[in-house]
Amino acid sequence: ANVVQQRGALLVSGGAASVSIFTSRPQVFSVLGPPSTYLSAALKTVASRGARTVILVQDSEVSSLEACGNAEEQSLETGMNVIGSFRLPTLVNTIWIESIINQAKRLSPDVFVGCVGETVCQ
């Protein structure tokens, strides 16, 4: 993005979404919206279908932070109650994951939002 901007060229990225890529670079575009809007439609949809409680889980990866950094606020705006919110450490292990899963089972949310990268999903 820096090189494109310096040369006055135009860059359209098919997958770039990090806000930092576009900041002060008016010739850099993405086909995706800003990450902070990714969950908005999904949360509104589940809330409109009766979901009232949500648990949020987020890892420390930049992409997760950008996509889900405002998930609690968005959940509250839809009328849902956030009954659990967890931020995973950088070096997460199965003990952390199992603990969160057990808490989620106990709390029994209508919606479980996981903003995690590939490492956590395995």
- pLDDT tens-place string over residues 31-72: 777 777 888 889 999 999 999 999 999 888 877 877 888 899
Residue 81's pLDDT band, with cuts at 50, 70 and 90, is very high
* Most trustworthy range by pLDDT among 22-31, 63-72, 107-116: 107-116
What pLDDT does 118 receive?
Answer: 67
Q: What is the separation, in whole angstroms, between the first and last Cα of the chain?
A: 32
Alpha carbon distances (Å) from 107 to 44, 62, 90, 102? 21, 28, 25, 9
What pLDDT does 5 receive?
Answer: 74
d(CA 62, CA 115): 11
For tokens 């109650």, the residue is 81
From 65, 105, 98, select the one nearest 84 (Cα to Cα): 105
